[in-house]
Structure 1
C-alpha cells in the first residue's frame, strides 16, 4: 500500500508506513526488577513467547519504583493493555498503552526521533511553549504559541 501511495503522489510528499508495534508503559515496578523479569512475567501471564517483548527502557518512578516502556506486536499489545495489570514478582503493576507520536528533539516535528532526523533545520534551542530561541519551556514566561504560526513568523524555523 505504501508503494502504491508513493507512486500516485510522486515526489510531492514523503510516504512512510506506520509501525505495527504497540508501545506499552508498565508502572509500579519494584526497584530491583530487571528487563528479563518483565519479559518473563508478561509472557507467562498472557501466554506468548518471551522473545516478542522488547523492553525499551526502565527509568526511576516515584517512591523507589520503576517505569518500563516496552514494545509488543500490535495484536499482543492490545491484549496486554486490555488486561491492565501484570504480576511481576510480588508486585502487581499497571499497564497502559503509550499514546502519541514520538517527537524529534532536533527539528521538533512529530513522527520520528533525533537519531533518524533528516531535516536540515536544527530547532533544538527552541522553547516548546513559545518557540523562541535561547530558553526552555520550564523558564518560559511568554504566551503559548502554535508551532505553525511561529514558523510563519520566523523564517529561520522553516
Structure 2
C-alpha cells in the first residue's frame, strides 16, 4: 500500500433539530396538570401549535419544537408552564439541553479548574454554569487530564480542531461516547427504573445499587 492514509475526521455528534420541554408529574396527575397548564397558558396567548408530543422513558411528556427559533420558544413555553403549575406537588418542567462528555489532556500544573471552564465557555459559546468539571488528575507522563460535561453544541465547536488553548498549551480534546441507558433496579441496560420489566430486583443487584448510592462518585462519574 503506497502513500499516506487519509486523516481521520474529528469526532462530532449530530445536534438535534428540535428544542424540547419536559413535563414530569406524579403518577395519575398528568391529565389534571396538563389541562390546567393548557387553560392558563392559552389564556395568556401561549400555545403549543406545531409541537410534537411524545412520552419519555420515565413516563414524562416531551414537547418538541422545531424551527430556527426553537430554543427561544422552548424557553418561553417552559417559563409559562412553570408559572401555570407553580405550587403543584411533584411537578417538574425543564428545557433540557443536549450534553456531551469530553476528556481534555495536556494540562500543566498551573492550570486551575476555573481556567478550564472559562476557556470552554469562550470557545464553545456557552454559559459557565452549564459546564461540569471533574477533578484534574495526572497522567503517567505527568500532565493533567480532566473530564468535562458541557452542552453538545459547545463540544462540537471544540472538536472542530480537537484542541483548545488553555494557559500556554494547546490541550487535546476527545469526545466520549454517550452512555447507554441503565436501570438502577436490576442494573440491566436498555431501560430505566420507571419502566423496568422485572418485578423484583435480584438480591445481589439490590446490594450493588445500595453501594453505588452511598459511595462518592469519582471524577469520571460526576
**Band the TM-score falls in, shorter-chain normalisation:** 0.5 to 0.7
Q: Secondary structure at 1:82's aligned position in 2?
A: coil
Q: Secondary structure at 1:37's aligned position in 2?
A: helix
The verdict on how the C-alpha distance between 1:36 and 1:109 changes in structure 2, with shifts beyond 3 A counting, is farther
The verdict on how the C-alpha distance between 1:100 and 1:27 changes in structure 2, with shifts beyond 3 A counting, is same
Encode CA deviations 1:33-76: one digit per residue, 9 max, x unaligned.
22111011222333333222211332221321111111111222
Q: Is the 8 A contact 1:57 1:70 kept in 2?
A: no
1:90 is aligned, of 152, 165, 168, to 168
Q: Is the 8 A contact 1:55 1:71 kept in 2?
A: yes
Measured in 2, the distance between the counterparts of 1:32 and 1:119 equals 48
1:81 is aligned, of 144, 159, 173, to 159
Q: What does residue 114 of structure 2 align with? A: 36
Unaligned regions of 5+ residues in structure 1, if any? 8-17, 113-117, 126-158
Question: Aligned runs of 1:19-34 on 2, under 5 Å?
Answer: 20-34=98-112
Q: Is the 8 A contact 2:103 2:147 kept in 1?
A: yes
Q: What does residue 130 of structure 2 align with? A: 52
Q: What does residue 204 of structure 2 align with? A: 122
Moved over 6 A (4+): none
The verdict on how the C-alpha distance between 1:62 and 1:80 changes in structure 2, with shifts beyond 3 A counting, is same
Q: Structure 2 length as normaliser, TM-score?
A: 0.39
Q: Is the 8 A contact 1:22 1:71 kept in 2?
A: yes
CA RMSD of superposed structures (Å): 3.7
- Structure (1 or 2) with the larger CA radius of gyration: 2
Count of aligned pairs between the two proteins? 109
Q: What does residue 2 of structure 1 align with? A: 55
Q: Structure 1 length as normaliser, TM-score?
A: 0.52
Structure 1 residue 2: Cα displacement: 3.1
Unaligned regions of 5+ residues in structure 2, if any? 1-53, 61-95, 192-199, 209-222
